[in-house]
Amino acid sequence: MELFKTIKELQQALTADKNKGFSIGFVPTMGALHRGHLSLVERAGLENERVVVSIFVNPTQFNNSNDLKSYPRTLDSDLELLSSYPCDYIFSPEVTEIYPEPDTRKFDFGTLETVMEGHFRPGHFNGVAQVVSKLFEIVKPDKAYFGLKDFQQYSIIKAMCSMLQLPVRIIPCDIIREKDGLAMSSRNALLTENHRAVAPQIFSILQEAVSEAELFGPEEIKKRVIGKIASIPLLQLEYFDIVDELTLQNITSWEHQGVKVGCIAVFAGSVRLIDNIVFAK
């Protein structure tokens, strides 16, 4: 496993691999790695001859400067964790390596970005598209691995690749959870003990919503989820939407064709947590 800080060094190693005909799997991350990230690395290792993991806290995707400042940075323990996974190269650049000058590109993802995360975190997906398109240009992977915890991000990345005609396959990976159901997230480390104790209820409420879908329509399910979160004093709901997996637009009936996904964002104190669940109807 080798650690590179510059584009040049990483590309030298990758050029040699590509000349040998090796396939390249890529896992972009912001570090503070946990089993969620590592499951992506594991999958990339099974499907590729070389695996690149990037660790880069991308400033352009943070619409809140406190969130950027407090974002956990744990490079040493990340390297330690990755050493027992099939990771060949770690790319951990400085901000100036990725943005030698400000990135002024504006992406237009239409209605995919006007809902949910896009609505509540203006500019977030533009920043994600900026960094991921740059990283794809640097690494030129055959496949790139994204977690379904960030469900809307996965849709945005697919849209970006078709918009820019990038020859990379985007591989969706299942959500990895703590034993108590809480979706793993680097931000979980920032939860107070009391917030950590109630946070698993987010997933329990999503699971209840799925089982109650036998009895109630989508609008009623939404109201019930809103009510249940409101009854937990340490949690504040930002949104809960039941959307079509492709358009990300709200559905109003279970008769709607296509996969339906319930997506939620909740504040536990100052920590914002997201999760989602598929309605198997």
Q: Which residues bind ligand AMP (CB under 6 A)?
A: 29-30, 36-37, 39-40, 146-147, 149-150, 173, 175-176, 183-186
- Of 34, 37, 119, 195, which one is the catalytic site residue? 37
Active site residue 256: no
CB-wise, 103 or 178, nearer to ligand AMP?
Answer: 178
CB-wise, 172 or 227, nearer to ligand AMP?
Answer: 172
Residue whose token pair is 């340490």: 234
The CB-nearest residue to ligand AMP is: 147
Q: Report, in Å, the least distance between residue 52 CB and ligand AMP.
A: 13
Q: Report, in Å, the least distance between residue 175 CB and ligand AMP.
A: 4
CB-wise, 93 or 218, nearer to ligand AMP?
Answer: 93
Q: Report, in Å, the least distance between residue 61 CB and ligand AMP.
A: 9
Q: Report, in Å, the least distance between residue 133 CB and ligand AMP.
A: 15
CB-wise, 40 or 44, nearer to ligand AMP?
Answer: 40
Q: Report, in Å, the least distance between residue 148 CB and ligand AMP.
A: 7
CB-wise, 88 or 275, nearer to ligand AMP?
Answer: 275
Which residues are identified as catalytic?
A: 37
